[in-house]
Structure 1
Amino acid sequence: MSNKESTSRTLFVALAVSLVASVFVAGSAVALKPVQIENRLLDKQRSILAIAGIGGDKLSSREVKDLFNSRIKARVVDLNTGEYNDSLDPVTFDPLKAAKDPKTSAALKGSEDLALIKRREQFTTVYMVEQNGQLESLILPIRGYGLWSTLHGFLAVKPDLNTVVGLGFYQHAETPGLGGEVDNPKWKAQWPGKTLFDDSGKPIIKIVKGGVDPASPDAGHQIDGLAGATLTSNGVDRLMQFWLGEQGFGPYLAKLRQQGA
């Protein structure tokens, strides 16, 4: 066999192996996609339950689903008007995907973009924790840029729409031990009971560099900054101001207050 034939055969075999491997990988990706989607949904439901204070890490997948379905009611909100939009299915609607589409989102410029997210979707999904038909807490999706990444999380508030139940981030890429301390239970434990708005409805919750003075009259709406992570702390502060303001859930919360929620 000539060297030319040998080389051709080697290339053919390599190409055939590569083709088979590509088909296998592509097939596996397609087959696993539903599982990945299901796992992401489960992680989000687990985060919502934990932030609402009605779930834990030890719950099985089935327990998470059952508890979520029995206690949580999801609805889609028009952030521009503050009204619910029942034409969109809160289970299948993807606010983050909508934020990337110019048809379903708006570009944010300059001082509008406190959270540094560039675009804000028109519609998003909120979650109501209910017990015997009574609202126990309202859970709002929030996100904003820290030092290295966009932090995605949820803020849970009491029915008075002013008192924090809990806050947590389910996805980010901040530095472990520094900005990653947003996951520290001790830091998150500061949030419950804090006040979000002043009497005029203006957001007053604030991340404080150096720590909160317990004797200060402002302590009720202040949170300790993350040690050594000023930019991440600033990012959390900005995203809170954004989502509680007019560009975020401001119109929606105003509607709820008018309705006596």
Structure 2
Amino acid sequence: MARSDWNPWRRLLALPNESRTKTLVIAFLVASVCALMVSGATVLLRPIQTANRAAEEQARIETLVRGIPGMADLLEQSGGTLSTVVVNLETGRAAEDVTAETLPVTLADAANWSTLEPGEDIAGLGQRPDFAQIFLLREGEDISLVLLPMTGQGYGGRIDAIMALRGDMNTIAGVAVTNHSETPGLGGRIEEPAWQADFPGTELRGPNGDMRFSVARGEASSPYEVDGITGATRTGRGFTNMVRFWLGPEGYGPLIRAIQRGEF
């Protein structure tokens, strides 16, 4: 009498190829091995994928910022690593549920805008978004440069700009006007590199912390002023109010304090 083979693997292989049991078991085993291989590959490749996504994001950010007139040279001089973050303007902290990709959809919802009282709306905005995308340049763990988008009302209409602040959050590193409707040859000169070149080194606040930045009516006479533009007093006043608003308590004030405390 032949001895029975109790090895289940041998018994399976001994079954004819037409056996439904053999087909199902082999198919299950093959699928399991493939699933394990895919899972293993995912685990092994995850750091590479993460690094690739980070590199793509870094390239996207740098392309965006370097496309702003006047900012490319500033970034070259500053060095470091550029990153972006969406901040909650009320708290001055990184937004928990809003990213650069979802920001446009978020701001399409009127619930994510705050109405400004007349006394605090010196930039003439009417309302202010609750979230804003900013750019940070780090040297190691230290923030060396912060790029802050801002908008306000000039003489002819809306002015959009990006202001770069040094790591002390009180010294202007540069400014770029990205959009305006000011009169050509007068207020429209705010887009000229020669005027914007007067901003680097200008200080925002005095020793007691009070906001003192302004566009002068003529030539600057203090470290808190930049030269005014002849015949464009109202444009200069609008630019002053825009900067004061966005760097004040209703704008980036909470963020600036958080950075100064080393919390960002």
Whether TM-score is above 0.5 comes out as: yes
- Find the counterpart in structure 2 of residue 11 from structure 1: none
Q: Which amino acid aligns with 1:164?
A: I
Answering whether residue 252 of structure 2 is matched by residue 249 of structure 1, we say: yes
Note closer, same or farther for the CA distance 1:191–1:199 as it changes in structure 2 (3 Å cut): same
Indicate yes or no: 2:210 matched with 1:202.
yes
DSSP-derived class of the 1:155 partner: strand
Q: How many residues align?
A: 203
Larger Rg: 2
Q: Mean Cα displacement is larger for which, 149-158 or 250-259?
A: 250-259
Aligned to 2:100: 90
Q: Is the 8 A contact 2:124 2:153 kept in 1?
A: yes
Q: Which residue of 2 aligns with 1:110?
A: 118
Q: Any stretches of 5+ residues in structure 2 without a counterpart? A: 1-61
Q: Is the 8 A contact 2:65 2:72 kept in 1?
A: no
Among 174, 177, 182, which residue is 1:166 paired with?
174
* TM superposition shift of 1:125: 1.0
> Which whole-Å CA distance do the structure 2 matches of 1:255 and 1:43 have between them?
25
| Structure 1 residues 44 and 137: CA distance shift in structure 2, 3 A | closer
Q: What is the Cα-based RMSD across aligned positions, in Å?
A: 2.7
Counterpart code for 2:163: L
Distance 2:263 2:111 in 1: 33
Q: Secondary structure at the match of 2:75?
A: coil
- Does the 8 A contact of 2:89 with 2:131 survive in 1? yes
1:168 aligned counterpart, secondary structure: strand
- Could you tell me how far apart the structure 2 residues matched to 1:190 and 1:78 are? 31
Partners of 1:55 and 1:77 in 2: CA distance: 25
Which of these residues, 136, 155, 161, is aligned with residue 128 of structure 1? 136
Displaced runs of 4 or more, over 4 A = 41-45, 131-134
Would the alpha carbon gap of residues 121 and 129 (structure 1) be closer, same or farther in structure 2, given more than 3 Å must change? same
SS of 1:137 mapped into structure 2: strand
Query: SS of the residue aligned with 1:47?
Result: coil
Unaligned runs of 5+ residues in structure 1 are: 1-40, 57-67, 214-218
CA distance in 2, matches of 1:120, 1:180: 25
Verify: 1:258 aligned to 2:255, yes or no: no
The offset of 1:49, in angstroms, is 7.0
- Taking structure 1 as reference, are residues 83 and 260 closer, same or farther at Cα in structure 2, changes over 3 Å only? closer
What is the TM-score when the length of structure 1 is the normalising length?
A: 0.70
Matches of 1:74 and 1:243, distance apart in 2: 18
TM-score when scaled to structure 2? 0.69
